[in-house]
Amino acid sequence: MEAASAAHAHVEHPPEANRSSRVEPQLLGMLLFIISEVMIFGAFFTAYFFIRVVQGDPWPAPGMEIPTGPVAINTAVLLSSSLTMHWAQTSIKNGNRFGLRAGILSTLFLGICFLTLQVNEYVHVGFAPHDSAQGSIFYGLTGLHGAHVCIGLILLSMVTIRAFRGHFSAESHRGVEVPGIYWHFVDVMWIIVYTTIYIL
């Protein structure tokens, strides 16, 4: 009888899975995903530096004008979204649900503004990806980053819905922290893209 009870208890409560890493699976998964995305961006940057450094072609190409003023404003918009994301993360860690909701909504709004301004830039920039190799790289890098912003906005939308349903607390906020890490990554990548494409 005792042996049967012990066997039954063993079936109901199996031992926890052994993990070789001390990092939580959600966080580890996001970090590995970010590393893979850095490699994708690296391929585009390799093409960019090949044209500018190896071949010595002018940047931008003759007849191609890249707007720097409006993009500087757009950069400020995206960097501000990193501050609001940090506000949301800090708020929920301190049990402040209002700060979480306000921070996430602000981040979502600023991200949408960034994409809207980027689309407006594409409409008025005056050249197409097939006009030159420089144009292809310009659209490739900025478009790749824009796609990552879209993914980030989808994640933030999910966090926003959960935040207004009261899913997060000071003790349980991994669902905010992991998308937040991705959003900060998107902002850092834009700084690199902006500096490389628009300033240098």
Each residue's pLDDT tens digit, 137-169: 999 999 999 999 999 999 999 999 999 998 888
CA pair distance 200, 189, nearest whole angstrom: 16
pLDDT digits (tens, 9 = 90+) for 35-86: 999 999 999 999 989 888 888 788 888 878 888 888 999 999 999 999 999 9
Task: Determine the average pLDDT of the residues in 94-113.
Answer: 94
Is 2 inside a domain boundary? no
Is 91 inside a domain boundary? yes
Is 78 inside a domain boundary? yes
* Host domain of residue 111: 31-56+66-199
N- to C-terminal Cα separation, the chain: 78
What CATH number is given to the structural domain containing 177?
1.20.120.80
Q: How far is CA 137 from the centre of its chain?
A: 20
Is 136 inside a domain boundary? yes
Q: What are the C-alpha distances in Å from 45 to residues 5, 48, 50, 122, 136?
A: 63, 5, 8, 20, 12
Is 113 inside a domain boundary? yes
- What whole-number percentage of the chain has pLDDT above 90? 52
Is 172 inside a domain boundary? yes
Cβ 179 vs Cβ 155: under 8 Å:
yes
Hey, what amino acid is at 159?
Answer: V
Q: What is the pTM of this model?
A: 0.82
Q: What are the C-alpha distances in Å from 77 to residues 71, 72, 84, 160, 180?
A: 10, 9, 11, 19, 17
Is 35 inside a domain boundary? yes
Is 117 inside a domain boundary? yes
Give me the number of domains the chain comprises.
1
